[in-house]
Amino acid sequence: MSRSPAAERVSRFGTTVFSEFSALALKHGAVNLGQGFPDFDGPEAVKEAAQRAIRDGVNQYAMGMGAKDLRQAIAEHAARFYGQQVNPDTMVTVTSGATEAILDVILGLVDPGDEVVAFEPFYDSYDANITFVGAKARYVPLRPPDAQHATWWFDREEVRAAFGPRTRLLILNTPHNPTGKVFTREELEFLGGLCAEHDVKVLSDEVYEHIVFAPARHVRPSTVPVLADRTVTVSSMGKTFSLTGWKIGWVIAPPSLRDAVQRAHQFVTFATASPLQVATAAALRLPDSYFQELATQYLARREKLLRGLKEAGLPAHAPEGSYFILTNISHLGFPDDMAFCRHLVTQVGVAAIPPSVFYSPEHRHLGQGFARFAFCKTDGVLDEGVRRLREGLTKHR
């Protein structure tokens, strides 16, 4: 018998749930509220800046650490929104999306046999990347809002218990996909205290940093004093500028940490699309009104989908950030979230994502009572999705 050509480190990865549900959505003509990318386009001025850069001949390799002007724009943006002082030459690396940045951070900071603490549900590339380096993930589940907690929360003792002598990295994601949780300063101070105690570094994934709904406020973990020297901030332009296909991301970190990440980056992609870096610098310099308007528009979409889901018998906690809503489905009588989402896409004509795939096998059951809906969609699409849910779920209420 010939052995599988796939290396062990990838052999347990099947097709992602996104591909499966997008294919099902296409086959059944479903409204796709599953995949997390906007069905509208980014700002004209930013697209125009990319076209101009191509016409002007910015078409050869950029500097490995990122084009100088983009690094400068990233530093200006950090100062403008968070009062963070960033040296663009020693503290920034530009990557191919946050996805590459996450891999570079893990490659650069984590050794085989080390442990990485992260919250569940998690963004799926964390788990794969931890596997790639031969490290071990220690997951702590976020708990849904309840009588004592107005938002998703974590048990401090559970987090404390996940830290040990082999812990090297804590992965944070705020605003959080898929719960919509925005970590508070007080929570970050607690986590920072643990990291200081165990000499642990932090990867802070902030790709939804500008999609936050008042009264919640995005606190950049690296601006919390106890986290400042140990945090690598990861972000990207895809969600903020509705241009997810461009895949321009970055890390911001103290020089010694940035240096470790840069060492990995130089042999992962070396450099990132030059004309799109020029346009990303222009995007990051858009006036405050652009960023305010983005959050205002997402608030209206969030309200529309929340209202529609409620009318369809799918109660949900309003997310404080990101463009996802987790609805409770446990009262509908389906065996689990996978069965519910398959029914939804094939019989009701709406695609959602079963969040149990964002949990480790040990905690998978915690995700089985929920479904994830994305509201990064135009009004017509949200209205049609809601109409179908109202009609299609009547008999389950």
**Site residues (vs ligand PLP, CB under 6 A):** 36, 97-99, 123, 173, 177, 205, 207, 236, 238, 244, 247, 249
- H/E run at residue 290: helix 288-311
Q: Say if residue 178 is preceded by a cis peptide, omega within 30 of 0.
A: yes
CB of 246 to ligand PLP, least distance (A): 9
- Closer to ligand PLP by CB, 132 or 392: give it: 132
Cβ neighbours for 302, distance < 8 A, ≥ 6 positions apart = 213, 318, 319, 323, 325, 375
Interatomic CA distance for residues 176 and 118, integer angstroms: 12
CB 290 within 8 A of CB 117: no
State which residue, 231 or 244, has the beta carbon closest to ligand PLP: 244
**C-alpha gyration radius of the chain:** 21
- CB 248 → ligand PLP: shortest distance, Å? 8
Please state the closest distance from residue 249 (CB atom) to ligand PLP, in A. Answer: 4
- Work out how close the CB of 122 gets to ligand PLP at its nearest, in angstroms, rounded to a whole number: 9
Q: How far is the CB of 333 from ligand PLP (least distance, A)?
A: 30
Indicate if the alpha-carbon torsion angle 143, 144, 148, 149 is positive or negative.
positive
* Burial (Cβ within 10 Å: 0-12, 13-18, ≥19) of residue 127: buried
Residue count of the chain? 397
Q: What's 212's DSSP letter? A: B
Our CB check for ligand PLP shows the closer of 43 and 313 to be: 43
Backbone phi and psi for residue 71, each to the nearest 5 degrees, phi listed first: -60, -40
206-31-42 Cα angle (round to 5): 45
| Residue 237: CB minimum distance to ligand PLP, A | 7
Decide whether 110 or 172 has the Cβ nearer to ligand PLP. Answer: 172
CA 139, distance to chain mean position in Å, is 17
How near is the Cβ of 10 to ligand PLP at its closest, in Å?
A: 19
Residue with smaller CB distance to ligand PLP, 35 or 346: 35
* Nearest residue to ligand PLP, scored by beta-carbon proximity: 97
| Closer to ligand PLP by Cβ: residue 244 or 327 | 244
Neighbours of 110 (CB within 10 A): 23
Nearer to ligand PLP, 244 or 272 (CB): 244
Task: Work out the number of other CB atoms within 10 angstroms of the CB of residue 29.
Answer: 7
Record the tokens describing residue 347, joined without a space. Answer: 């019989």
Nearer to ligand PLP, 168 or 372 (CB): 372
Q: What is the smallest separation between the CB atom of 173 and ligand PLP, expressed in angstroms?
A: 5
CB of 276 to ligand PLP, least distance (A): 12
Contact status, residue 349 vs residue 338, Cβ threshold 8 Å? no
Q: Closer to ligand PLP by CB, 334 or 370: give it.
A: 370
Q: What are phi and psi of 55, to 5 degrees?
A: -65, -35
